Amino acid sequence: MADDLKKGLEGVLVAESDLSSIDGDAGQLIYRGYTIEDLARGASYEEVLYLLWHGHLPNADELASFTDALTEERTVSDDVLSTMERLADAEERPMAALRTAVSMFSATEPESDADPEDLDATLRQGRRITAKIPTALAAFERYRLGDEPVDPRPDLGLAANFLYMLTGEQPDDIAAETFDQALILHADHGLNASTFTSMVIGSTMADIYSAVTGGVSALSGPLHGGANQDVMEVLIEIDESDLDHREWIEQATEEGRRIPGFGHRVYNVKDPRAKILAERSEELAENGESKWYNYTTTIEQYLTEEKGLVEKGIAPNVDFYSGSVYYQLGIPIDMYTPIFAMSRAGGWIAHVLEYQEDNRLIRPRARYTGPDTREFVSIDDR
């Protein structure tokens, strides 16, 4: 057995997957053979979910049946709603509230006694989780504002329905399409920390509720989720500054401040998802406030062209533009990571199902660095 230590499992192959592929040098992301550009611009989030879970894009009849099944599962129990209200009153963090909600969903699971090896049942359970997360998240935010939750609408897609439940108003086409694209862009991304966490839990044949709860927990860490929130907080700081945004970024870099949203563990060039969200940010700016788009483009131009970060393998990632896009859609800043989880749950479920088809308990080992064998001394003689 090899004794090479790979901290963080960097570069270690632990599984084979048909789900997503990343070329960090070319800036390419594909889901089951389809480029992220084609999917984001031509498919809906529901179509991408179907692709990840079933291996092919649905035809019209398949999509209609799949969408109907998701829609039927959107309602959450009164117990979940009352818990979201109590957590909102207690000023709980949104990711912690989501973690609790996902765990609670299992209490009303109609197939709770299904055989762990029945992957069809696991998929149906995963579908219920995916359908309910937007409802629970929107309810939590409504309670924080002192408002009552808004019931889901069966005539709206998952993305538009979430924005509707969040605000009580039906979003316009640009907002709905933008948010739908954002969900597609975040649906899967290889074996990142939260996906791997879900797979580890799934490898024990624990239920999918446990696996998704684990994914939420892993994503809540600041080294994984949350960068887009950091980006937006920087943009707000720029907006509130007495300096012009160009002057602000020059001063910040001179002071050695790190600007969030740049650099990625995988990509050495601009994240392809950032390119797509930059387009949507520009479109939102043309139909609303333009300053957030102007700030981000100025920062990107300054850091990449004048500071030469791209030559160093540091370029904008998906978080750099998703923060301002969500802000333009009226989404609270601390809800950005929960929205990430809302999208990525589809990928977590897909990876667990794929791994369980040829399951082997994930059990790495550690190199012992403790003391050599020591003589035991009884408590009376210590």
Kindly report the average pLDDT of the chain as a whole number.
94
Sequence-ordered strand ranges (E) for the chain: 20-23, 28-31, 34-35
Residue 381 is which amino acid? D
Q: What is the full DSSP assignment across 157-174? A: -HHHHHHHHHHSSPPPHH
Angle (CA) 52-224-220 rounded to 5° is 90
Instruction: Residue 261: count other Cβ atoms within 10 Å of its Cβ.
Output: 28
At 288 the pLDDT is 82
Q: Does 173 qualify as catalytic in the annotation?
A: no
At 205 the pLDDT is 97
pLDDT band, very low/low/confident/very high, at 105 (cuts 50, 70, 90): very high
- List the domains of the chain with CATH numbers: 45-172+189-220+336-357 (1.10.580.10)
At 6 the pLDDT is 84
Q: By the 8 A CB rule, do 88 and 97 touch?
A: yes
Q: By the 8 A CB rule, do 315 and 262 touch?
A: yes
Both tokens of 71, joined, read 């829609």
Angstrom distance (rounded) from CA 340 to CA 318: 11
Q: Which residue has the tokens 């199902």?
A: 353
pLDDT band, very low/low/confident/very high, at 124 (cuts 50, 70, 90): very high
For residue 340, the 8-state DSSP code is H
Q: Please identify which of the residues 264, 358, 380, 381 carries the catalytic annotation.
A: 264
Question: For 162-188, what is the mean pLDDT?
Answer: 96
Exposed e or buried b for every residue in 128-152, given b needs 16+ CB within 10 A? bbbbbbbbbbbbbbbbbeeeebbeb
Q: Which of 162, 77, 171, 164 is nearest to 345 (CA)?
A: 162
Q: Does 319 qualify as catalytic in the annotation?
A: yes
Q: By the 8 A CB rule, do 334 and 229 touch?
A: yes
Angstrom distance (rounded) from CA 351 to CA 152: 28
Strand pairing report for 28-31 and 34-35:
antiparallel
Q: Please identify which of the residues 230, 245, 319, 351 carries the catalytic annotation.
A: 319
Q: How far, in whole angstroms, is CA 341 from its chain's centroid?
A: 4
Residue 86 has pLDDT above 60, yes or no: yes
Both tokens of 91, joined, read 């000023």
pLDDT tens profile 35-81: 999 999 999 999 999 999 999 999 999 999 999 999 999 999 999 99
Residue 303 is which amino acid? L
pLDDT tens profile 291-324: 999 999 998 988 888 887 877 888 888 888 998 9
Angstrom distance (rounded) from CA 86 to CA 71: 26
Coil vs helix vs strand at 25: coil
At 11 the pLDDT is 82
Residue 245 is which amino acid? H
Separation in Å, CA 336 to CA 16, 93, 261, 358, 372: 30, 12, 14, 34, 48
pLDDT band, very low/low/confident/very high, at 2 (cuts 50, 70, 90): low
pLDDT band, very low/low/confident/very high, at 225 (cuts 50, 70, 90): confident
Q: By the 8 A CB rule, do 249 and 259 touch?
A: yes
Angstrom distance (rounded) from CA 292 to CA 324: 6
Separation in Å, CA 214 to CA 30, 74, 202, 254: 25, 21, 10, 40
Q: By the 8 A CB rule, do 264 and 20 touch?
A: no
pLDDT tens profile 253-289: 889 888 888 888 788 888 899 999 999 999 999 888 8
Angstrom distance (rounded) from CA 367 to CA 378: 28
